Structure 1
Amino acid sequence: MAMFFDPFRELDRMSTMTEGRRGPRFVPMDLYREGDHYMLNADVPGVDPGSIDIDVDGSVLTIRAVRTLSTAENAEWLTQERPSGSFVRQLSLGDGIDADSISASYHNGVLSVMIPVSQRMKPRKVAITAGAPETIAVTTGKPAAAKK
């Protein structure tokens, strides 16, 4: 009895396990602070930059992208590990973000989003004045007694 070995059989079984997954897929990302801004780098290889949408709604930053795979109509897939379709990632922004100044660029399949820290949240120095402390008048709301 001869055994037939098909090297693509296991790959085919594995790809069918994920075929039923519908809806937006996860976008892997790195996020770090560098000086007075945060940098978000998201992997979106093979995505047309024109399909990427970034919006800020309140305190939520949302990244959406679409990857389409082009193949001939009569192509017979042996394996399909590069997912296509919609991708989404949401990030909750804190209070100290300057949402109006967020900017983004796309290079070599990586979407880079620069998220600046707002001016009021940046560390600052407090000036110290030298000399005698000034007298501060405290009022209690009662009229002061007249001096004789």
Structure 2
Amino acid sequence: MLRFDPFGDVDAIARGLLAGQQMGSSRTPRFMPMDLYKVDDHYVLTADLPGVDPGSIDVSVDNGTLTLSAQRSTRSDDSVEWLSSERFYGSYRRQLTLGEGIDSAGISASYENGVLSVTIPMAERAKPRRISISHSDTVQEIEK
């Protein structure tokens, strides 16, 4: 089972405010939009990361927590005179708590057209299965 912690982002914002860091300014990313759904015997997580260098993307699993992080750099040419600058740059980070029924060794990821796709397989023991019922063909008499 995959568990999503909706309060994880709230905790991160609170930690940032308490630490004196500015979260979600006009130049840093506010969040990494993502979808999470189940297909057959695996989960699929897709996250929007437009303009992110694929080499900066990191997907890791540690102690039952899946962490997605990425970096989008800004143009650092000092000779540029900005007329408008509305695109976000900086670090993105999301974390999900994985349940007991996840095969963390089988997690795979790909990045295409600005979308990170992570496939999270269920462990064999967590997959639904049919249980056979054994029975004998002999008839037993019930004594009174």
Same fold (TM over 0.5): yes
Q: Which residue of 2 aligns with 1:30?
A: 35
Larger RCO (alpha carbons 8 Å, 6+ apart): 2
**Unmatched tracts of structure 2, length 5 or more:** 1-23, 139-144
Q: Distance in 2 between matches of 1:109 and 1:59?
A: 26
Shift of residue 128, structure 1, vs aligned partner: 1.7
Q: Larger Rg: 1 or 2?
A: 1
Aligned mate of 1:119, from 120, 124, 128: 124
Return the TM-score normalized by structure 2: 0.73
CA RMSD of aligned residues (A): 2.0
Aligned mate of 2:46, from 35, 41, 44: 41
SS in 1 for 2:25: helix
Aligned mate of 2:25, from 2, 18, 42: 18
Return the TM-score normalized by structure 1: 0.71
Q: Distance in 1 between matches of 2:122 and 2:43?
A: 7
Aligned mate of 1:96, from 78, 97, 101: 101
Moved >4 Å (runs of 4+): none
Identity of aligned residues (%): 55
Q: Distance in 2 between matches of 1:72 and 1:63?
A: 29
